[in-house]
Structures are given as structure tokens and as C-alpha cells.
Amino acid sequence: MLIEIHIIQNHSPSNLNRDDLGAPKTCYFGGALRSRISSQCLKRSIRISKQFQDLLGGIRTRQLAKLIAEKVTRKEAKKRAEKILSDCGFKPKKTKKSTTEEDDSKDEDKSKMLVYTTWQAIEEMAGLLQDGDGKTDEQLAKEFAKLISQRVAVPDMALSGRMLEPDKSAKDIWKQLDSTVDAALQVAHAISTHEARPEVDYYVATDDIPGDDAGAGYVDEAMFASACFYKYFSINWETLVENLKGYGDNHEKLAAHTVGAFVRGAALTNPTGKQNSFAAHNPPDGMLIEINNTPISYANAFAKPAAQSERDIISQSIAQLSQYVHDLDTGYGKPQKRFWFSPNLRYPLVAHITVEENGKKKQHEIALAESNIKSLNELVPAVIAAIGYDWEEVQKVIVNAEVTR
């Protein structure tokens, strides 16, 4: 079973996701230049959102040794943690020779790669290190690797998955272990429903204490864009439940809570790029959620770019989405459940078809969703009920706070 989320969201001028030159990310789609927000950017903004914070049990860092040592009272804990993690295949990052011992110690804090693990694993590794007098570094390395491999039942990792590539020197430690977690979540890059070209903002800063010179104190340029985006997310329910099995008897309820929190995060969270300069905090104007067995993206509704005419760009985008949904319903069949949310039902999800009645052609509107919902607070419980759970009940199941922070 898949929980698929389709979003139409119009952003005012912004630069939410930049490339290496500081320009808004773009791509060509349907032969036209589009604004783009990367899937990585979208996932991170939801993962660290207020809506998801009670479920955030994972930590991605190059400073794992430091986090472990902070929980240990023994002397030289950090150096031993670094050695043990190096034996695990997480080698320290080699940098150019530092000029001071302090700089050298800072370099040793970090491994070559980001290690994605859980707060629970860190707690248990710290406990092993605290009581590790009778064990060699090699023995502890095997136990650390086992914890990193097995302590993975947290919502953010269950959704996003994990891939670790320890150094080949540690292959004997990992040969009986599986460090990979299959992701339950797929995320598309958000693309503008219409052609969108970045623009340039020329700006100046003035000196509050003017002198003889009349010029600006600072001059620069920044790029930005304004676009209406189509976003698509797909959550595989069975994979999510399987990934959370290690949590215990309530793992299915935790999976349902994860879905609900993700839906809220997707609706209420925006990427943080250049928000102090643009404040593009624009919530979605339409969210289509479907329960389905086959993944279907509706991005091709915008292969022909939406164009503003008698409709505004949001209305036109939703109209093209609606017609495309109707066409795919006709061609491939409808999903098991379909929910349409637009604030106060401002925008309907309807398709227009032409039928012949008494020899005359007439236009008819077809409502595409079984449930048309005007409030996010109504949408989430309805979706969770559709997968067999009560939203009020599943919210009581969260990752233990002592483990998540």
C-alpha cells in the first residue's frame, strides 16, 4: 500500500534552494525552463520541522566520536572512541597539517563520511565504552558496528533509509551485518508547473553614518524566482512498518503517526534558503492524497507549461492537474482512496467533460475525490483512518525523548 501526496504550492519571490553559484535551482521539463527544489532539500526541511520533532530519532554526523564521548565520564574517552570507530571503518578525515595541537584535535573529531545512526545506538555505544575495561578495541568495534546496524527503528530513518560504506579495512567486522535500511519514502524534485526564469535583484546597503562620499556602502546582486510548484511524495506503508519493527509492539501505530506527521510537515514546512531576505512562507493551495498500490506521479500534467489567461496560475495548475488525473483514472483505473484538500475548498479538484444530451453537446463537471476537505486538521485524521488507525491514539506513540535527544 502506498500513501501518495501531490501538492500544488505557489511561492512568492524566493531562493529556497540554491546551486553552487547561488542561483535558484532549475531544470528543463517539457522543453521549458522550470524552477526546481531538490528532493534532498524537501526531505530535510520536513525531517527537522516542528511537526516531526517528536519523531526525530536519527542523527547524521561526522562527529560521532564526540557525541559518544560526551556521555562517558572516563578519561581519554574521546580518543578511544575515535580509535574504535576507525576500526569500524569510519576513518578520521585527513586534512592539511594544522599549526596547533588544538587544530589537530578538532580535525580528529570528524570522520571522512557522514554516519547516519540513532540516538539509541549512541547511548548504548557510550555505555559499552564506559564499561569497556575488559574488552579490546577490536571487540568494542564489533559491538559498535552491531549497534549501528541494528538500532535503526526510528521514524526519520525508516522513511529516508540509510546507506553506509565503511572503509574496506573493516570488511571483516561488517561481513555478517547489514548496514543498509531501505527507504519507505520516495520524493520527486519539485518543479514549477510553468516556465520560470530566474531574475536578478540588484541591491545596495547604505552607511548609517554618511561621510563625504555619496555612494552606497555596499553593492551586490542576488538571484531569485517566483514559481508555482508541483510536489510529489510516496510512502510505502509495508516498508515503513517493517523498518519500525525494532521499536516494539506499537510499531504499526508509530508508523501511522509517522505518516500523519509527515503530511503535516509537508503542508506546513518550507525550505529555509534565503528566507530572511524573501520570507516566502506560502502554504499549499491544494493537496491530493491517494491510497494506491501503484506509484503514479502527475508531473506530466505540466509537460505543457501552465499559462496564465483568464485563470490565475494556481487555478490553471490545479485545472491541468485535475484533467490529467481524470485521464489517468479513465486509462488505468482509480486509486483505492482519494482525498482533496484546499484551504476552505478555495480550489476544487474537478474535471470538465463534454457529453451529448438530446443531440446537443454539454459541459459537465466531475468531482474527482471521494473526500473534499477544507482543513488540514480534518485531512490528517481522515488519511490515518483510511489506513486503519485513529489519529488521536497514534499520536500518543512517539520515540522516547531520552533516546531522540
Q: Which of 90-99, 174-183, 187-196, 272-281 has the highest mean pLDDT?
A: 187-196
d(CA 224, CA 391): 39
DSSP 249: T
Q: Is 263 within 8 Å of 5 (Cβ atoms)?
A: yes
pLDDT of residue 13: 92
Q: Label residue 279 left, alpha or beta by phi (over 0 means left) and psi (-120 to 50 means alpha).
A: left
Task: State residue 360's pLDDT score.
Answer: 76
Query: Which is higher by pLDDT, 301 or 355?
Result: 301
Instruction: Give the tens place of pLDDT for each residue, 150-196.
Output: 999 999 999 999 998 888 888 888 888 888 999 999 999 999 999 99
Contacts of 399 (CB under 8 A, 6+ apart): 54, 55, 56, 57, 154, 155, 247, 254
Q: How high does pLDDT run on average in the chain?
A: 89
pLDDT tens digits, one per residue of 103-156? 545 555 677 788 999 999 999 999 988 887 778 888 899 989 999 999 999 999
CA atoms of 298 and 291, how far apart (whole Å): 15
Arithmetic mean of pLDDT, 241-249: 91
Using a pLDDT cut of 70, give the percent of the chain over it: 93
Burial (CB count within 10 angstroms: exposed 0-12, middle 13-18, buried 19+), residue 1:
middle
C-alpha cell at 261: 506527521
Which long-range contacts (C-beta less than 8 Å, at least 24 apart) are formed by 148-152? Answer: 148/88, 148/115, 148/117, 148/121, 148/179, 149/174, 149/177, 149/178, 149/179, 150/177, 150/246, 151/117, 151/118, 151/120, 151/121, 151/124, 151/246, 152/118, 152/181, 152/243, 152/246
Length, in residues, of the chain: 405
Domain locations in the chain as residue ranges: 2-54+189-203+220-404, 60-153
